[in-house]
Amino acid sequence: MPGPDPGGVEPSDNWPRGVHVYHFFCGNIRHRNARAKRILQNARWGEWLCLHCGDPVPMWRRADAVYCSTGCRKRAKRARAKA
């Protein structure tokens, strides 16, 4: 499954209170709006931070992402397996 469009949602000048949602001729408008809403919910609770390393999660990641990269996800799994 492809990831979200990296240029579809960008932070606005008053981040974390707003984002710019770009609507192109192709794509689902409702899906982009729902993704923007979820990103704003993530930001409302503070920073959208990786659960493993604490770095900010990039905007181009999925809206339900909890890790900043695949490497962090794998390192977290290995750490859970050791415990």
Domain ranges of the chain: 9-82
Q: Which residues pair with 20 in a beta bridge?
A: 10
Q: Decide: helix, strand or coil at residue 14.
A: coil
pTM for this structure? 0.61
Q: Taking 50 as the threshold, does the pLDDT of residue 21 lie above it?
A: yes
What is the residue whose two structure tokens read 């008053």? 14
Q: Predicted confidence band at 1 (pLDDT cuts at 50, 70, 90)?
A: very low
Per-residue model confidence as pLDDT tens digits over 30-60? 777 777 778 777 776 667 889 999 898 887 7
